[in-house]
Amino acid sequence: MKKIVLLLITLFSLNAITYASFPVTENGKTTELVADDSNLSMEAPYGSDFSWGGFLLGFFLGLIGVLIAYLIDPDWLKSSLYGLLTVFILYLILVFTVFAAVGTAVASTTV
């Protein structure tokens, strides 16, 4: 019972503290946001440099795909390297899985 009362007191105290943690101004000023045509024509400052074409070239053709991606469009180079890295990681996972399976099979037959 003491723990429940203490928990409720803590929650109510925390509520009062967090409510007054930021300044509240009531001066009655309002802010209006106006968008004109010059703002609408601006392009977003962020974008994606990722290209699925480059990724697939690096994934399926390896180093030759990276070279082809660079020759087609130099902006695809980063994506093709991601594809090559993905294939390499998948290959390592496959090799470790096969070694683990063979090691387990050999260990179970020698006992």
21-to-9, 10, 15, 17, 28 alpha-carbon distances in Å = 18, 16, 10, 6, 21
| Per-residue pLDDT tens over the stretch 51-88 | 999 999 999 999 999 999 999 999 999 999 999 999 99
Q: Of 92, 95, 67, 93, which Cα lies nearest the Cα of 80?
A: 67
Specify the pLDDT at position 21.
55
Residue 24 predicted with pLDDT over 70: no
**How far does CA 67 lie from the centroid of its chain?**
27
pLDDT band per the 50, 70, 90 thresholds, residue 111: low
What is the share, in percent, of the chain residues with pLDDT greater than 70?
Answer: 65
Give percent helix, percent strand, percent coil of the chain, each to the nearest 5. Answer: 70, 0, 30
**How far does CA 14 lie from the centroid of its chain?**
34
Judge if pTM exceeds 0.75.
no
